[in-house]
Amino acid sequence: MKVNVSKKILSANEEYALQNRHLLAKQKKLCLNMISSPGSGKTTILIRTINELKGQIKIGVIEGDVQTDLDAEKIRATHAPVIQIETKGACHLSAAQVKAALSSLPISNLDLIFIENVGNLVCPSAFELGENSKIAVLSVAEGDDKAAKYPAIFARAKALLINKIDLLEAGAQVDFCLERVKADARKLNKGIEIFAISAKTGEGMSSWYDWLKKEVRNLRGD
Amino acid sequence: MKVNVSKKILSANEEYALQNRHLLAKQKKLCLNMISSPGSGKTTILIRTINELKGQIKIGVIEGDVQTDLDAEKIRATHAPVIQIETKGACHLSAAQVKAALSSLPISNLDLIFIENVGNLVCPSAFELGENSKIAVLSVAEGDDKAAKYPAIFARAKALLINKIDLLEAGAQVDFCLERVKADARKLNKGIEIFAISAKTGEGMSSWYDWLKKEVRNLRGD
């Protein structure tokens, strides 16, 4: 007997991710899932991006944390709509949590929804949330061997933000070879977009903003 | 009918952890499980500690990585015995993996076994490996809100190493309040030992070495 199993059986998480994907596609909203270790600067990147793109791109944020709403509070100060998810110990956001958060965001008024995942370079990359793309963030203080050592997120991300490049200035004590990380990331993911930035000083951020505007335009088919 | 369940049912991981604990206790070997985000400096701390304590404490290392043996190679250069575990994507070490590694280490010739866990501030703290104590490592570049945001490891660690304090020197671009982290960690864990160090320059490391020597002595009952 031959059984053709043509329909892929989805996990509960994948089911919710698919629902999120349909909702976002229907409304033509861009959704980016930011993944990094704790302390790479995701929140600071989001705050600067929201403020600099005011009047150009309407941004909402789904903020994931193991505990506390410290980051959501910071983002709230930009007046962007933000929904906090506290995972209470869990090491990644789930698509079900994101679905609930999406239902509380004023999506129709937004162009772009950032999901700030739990700080963790390993687990979140394995869980689809229904996002359009994953964005990896790495701070130069973490060292230039991280793409080789934690390949999953670098292989899956559409873009990589290498943050805190202000720490590489003359006289700084951080050893970090930008070219090594770029080469390692491109070995895993030929088309990955790479932006070397400082969310603190603003250096390199304009290329990131241009890329975001292009992604929003492409999705809308403008 | 009344059923007394007096024996706790252990998970497979807990069973292996218990076996490791018995093995280590029988031989009176200290085992410390180092847990942090990627790039906090665990490997650099281990290398400096092994080199500085040569002739005083005999150290072996179990090195956990998602992928690559880059860290094990670096530690091998100290001539300390090192066993590499590649988790192939898994976000934490398991007690079964550590049991296998322990059987390959020359334990009877060692005083202290460090386990360098996978770089991840969330998941490894939930898995007992049979160690005597967990050691949390946090680099100042990660920010001073991490004990509040990722409480599990700070609540469970016997000691906290706050690394890369050289980045806090005059003129540095890193904002980090040592007192905030110490207060947050002690709120979670009253007795936690805290060492502010730079594994790169050696600053603050002598208190850490003294603490390690005391822990080894206490375990042996010297």
| pLDDT (tens digit per residue) in B119-150 | 999 999 999 999 999 999 999 999 999 999 99
Residue B22 has pLDDT above 70, yes or no: yes
**CB within 8 Å of A66: residues ≥ 6 apart:** A86, A87, A88, A89, A90, A91, A118, A119, B122, B149, B150, B151, B152
Mean per-residue pLDDT for A134-141?
Answer: 97
The rounded percent of chain A whose pLDDT value lies above 90 is 90
pLDDT given for residue A222 in this prediction? 81
B56-95: buried (b, 16+ CB within 10 Å) or exposed (e) per residue?
A: ebbbbbbbbbbeebebbebbeebebbbbbbbbeebbbbbb
pLDDT band at B1 (very low <50, low <70, confident <90, very high): low
pLDDT given for residue A30 in this prediction? 98
Residue A221 has pLDDT above 70, yes or no: yes
Residue B98 and residue B86: Cα distance in Å, rounded?
A: 11
Q: Which residues of B touch A65 (CB under 8 A)?
A: 149
Contact A218, A132 (CB under 8 A): no
Element containing residue A31 per DSSP (H, E): strand A30-35
Mean per-residue pLDDT for A184-212?
Answer: 97
Residue B2 has pLDDT above 60, yes or no: no
More confident residue, A109 or B6: A109
pLDDT given for residue B8 in this prediction? 61
Give tens-digit pLDDT for A115-125.
Answer: 999 999 999 99
Query: Distance (Å) from the C-alpha of residue B138 to the closest C-alpha of chain A?
Result: 10
Residue B172 has pLDDT above 80, yes or no: no
Q: Which residues of A touch B89 (CB under 8 A)?
A: 122, 126, 152
Residue B6 has pLDDT above 60, yes or no: no
Q: Extract the tokens encoding B19.
A: 């076996």
pLDDT given for residue B10 in this prediction? 73
Give tens-digit pLDDT for B37-93.
Answer: 999 999 999 999 999 999 999 999 999 999 999 999 999 999 999 999 999 999 999
The rounded percent of chain B whose pLDDT value lies above 70 is 95
pLDDT given for residue A169 in this prediction? 80
> Nearest Cβ partner of A149 from B37, B38, B148?
B38
pLDDT given for residue A175 in this prediction? 86
pLDDT given for residue A8 in this prediction? 61
Looking at residue A64, what DSSP letter applies?
E
Mean per-residue pLDDT for B210-217?
Answer: 98
pLDDT given for residue B7 in this prediction? 55
Residue B164 and residue A2: Cα distance in Å, rounded?
A: 62
CA A75 to chain CA mean position, Å = 15
ipTM of the complex: 0.86
Of A33-42, A71-80, A148-157, A166-175, the range with the lowest mean pLDDT is A166-175
Measured CA distances, A162 to A199, A217, B197 (Å)? 10, 24, 26
pLDDT given for residue B174 in this prediction? 85
Residue B66 and residue A62: Cα distance in Å, rounded?
A: 28
pLDDT band at B203 (very low <50, low <70, confident <90, very high): very high
Residue A43 has pLDDT above 60, yes or no: yes
Contact A116, A84 (CB under 8 A): no
Query: pTM of this prediction?
Result: 0.91
> Nearest Cβ partner of B141 from A118, A122, A139?
A139
pLDDT given for residue A75 in this prediction? 97
pLDDT band at B171 (very low <50, low <70, confident <90, very high): low
Residue B108 and residue B24: Cα distance in Å, rounded?
A: 10
Residue B9 has pLDDT above 80, yes or no: no
* Closest alpha carbon to B147 in B183, B190, B109: B183
CA B220 to chain CA mean position, Å = 20
The two most distant CA atoms of chain A are separated, in Å, by 72
Mean per-residue pLDDT for A21-26?
Answer: 97
Residue B11 has pLDDT above 70, yes or no: yes
The amino acid present at A184, given as its one-letter code, is: D
What residues in chain A have their Cβ under 8 A from chain B's Cβ atoms?
37-39, 65-68, 70-71, 89, 91, 118-123, 126, 139, 141-143, 145-146, 148-152, 164, 166-167, 171-174, 200
Give tens-digit pLDDT for B92-119.
Answer: 999 999 999 999 999 999 999 999 999 9
Q: Extract the tokens encoding A186.
A: 């491109």
A–B: how many Cβ contacts below 8 A?
Answer: 123
- Whether A120 sits inside 8 A of B119 (CB atoms) is no
